[in-house]
Amino acid sequence: MAALNPLRREWETTLSDAGVASPQADVTWLLCHVLDTKPGTLSLREEISSEHAAQVADLVARRATRVPLQHLTGSQAFRMVELEVGPGVFVPRPETELLAGWAIEQLHVAIAAGVESPVVVDLCTGSGAIAKALADEVPQARVHAVELSEDAFAWASLNLAGTGVDLRQGDMALAFDDLLGEVDVVVCNPPYIPLEAWESVALEARDHDPHLALFSGDDGLDAMRVLEARATELLKPAGVLGVEHADVQGESAPAVFVATGRWTEVRDHQDLAGRARFLTARLAR
């Protein structure tokens, strides 16, 4: 057995020196993963076995090369659900929980208005994070999701198994012809990073998240334009849409919807850090 606290400080220093943004939190989660425990119980531990220490040290060394924490633990919490993630799928970020929360609120609004089973479509579902959260928190809803990437679709299939979500593989520009004009809510976390911003992307995302889920043309809005056109076809009159965007797109992303004249109530929303994060709009009647 070995004293745990000196090892924790050593591992935290290793990650800090490697440029990891949250070394203390990352070491905590790696310890929880290896010890199969929760963060609140770690303070009660003073020692760690040599075998467990070696496992954590190996994970810390890999994290120091900027392998995403979630690829090392194999999971990511999202609202009230747990997702399995790994190479080939975009790791869902905490800020996307706000977009999912907005969609959940809109489904409840529809139910309160007398829609017994509101229809929601999650375009570019990736790991299935938003779709799984919607199915979990609004069981009355009919949740549909689509993903283009074969690798990401495999992860989504794993995460959405048994949830009742209608998951399909395909292009969001062509998906759900059987639902045209029948959808109450469209939600999407599309790729939105401009190609020219390559160098500014965090190493965890740039080197490990699939580029299909990250980059979207010279201005980062190519997918946004496709989404606008498809959502127009999918939504009922007065149906609503929510879509995530980059923090620098607080004006340019909503402008995509305003410019077509097909939308009302186009609004942008901030995340908890006060950064522009997602827009919402209502299809004109």
What residue spans define the domains of the chain?
Answer: 2-65, 79-283
Mean pLDDT of 12-37: 93
Mean pLDDT of 40-59: 90
Is 191 labeled as ligand-binding? Answer: yes
What pTM did the predictor assign?
0.89
Question: Hey, which of 5-9, 139-143, 196-200 has the most confident mean pLDDT?
Answer: 139-143
Is 190 labeled as ligand-binding? Answer: yes
Is 87 labeled as ligand-binding? Answer: no
Higher pLDDT, 238 or 215: 238
The confidence score (pLDDT) of residue 44 equals 80
**239 has a pLDDT exceeding 80:** yes
- Highest CATH level, class, for 2-65: mainly alpha
- Highest CATH level, class, for 79-283: alpha beta
Dist. CA 100–CA 69, nearest whole Å: 22
Q: How confident is the model at residue 235 (pLDDT cuts 50, 70, 90)?
A: very high
Higher pLDDT, 73 or 196: 73
pLDDT tens for 133-192 read: 999 999 999 999 999 999 999 999 999 999 999 999 999 999 999 999 999 999 999 986
The confidence score (pLDDT) of residue 153 equals 96
Q: How confident is the model at residue 40 (pLDDT cuts 50, 70, 90)?
A: confident
The confidence score (pLDDT) of residue 158 equals 98
Is 23 labeled as ligand-binding? Answer: no
Instruction: Name the β-bridge partners of 235.
Output: 183
**Mean pLDDT (the chain, rounded):** 91
The confidence score (pLDDT) of residue 198 equals 47
Fold agreement between 2-65 and 79-283: no
Residue 207 DSSP SS3: helix
The confidence score (pLDDT) of residue 219 equals 80
Is 265 labeled as ligand-binding? Answer: no
Higher pLDDT, 210 or 68: 68
The confidence score (pLDDT) of residue 194 equals 64
Give the least confident one: 3-7, 105-109, 122-126, 232-236: 3-7
Three-state secondary structure readout of 9-69: HHHHHHHHHCCCCCHHHHHHHHHHHHHCCCHHHHCCCCEECHHHHHHHHHHHHHHHCCCCH
The confidence score (pLDDT) of residue 206 equals 64
Dist. CA 67–CA 214, nearest whole Å: 17
Q: What is the DSSP string of 228-256?
A: HHHHHHHEEEEEEEEEE--GGGTTHHHHH
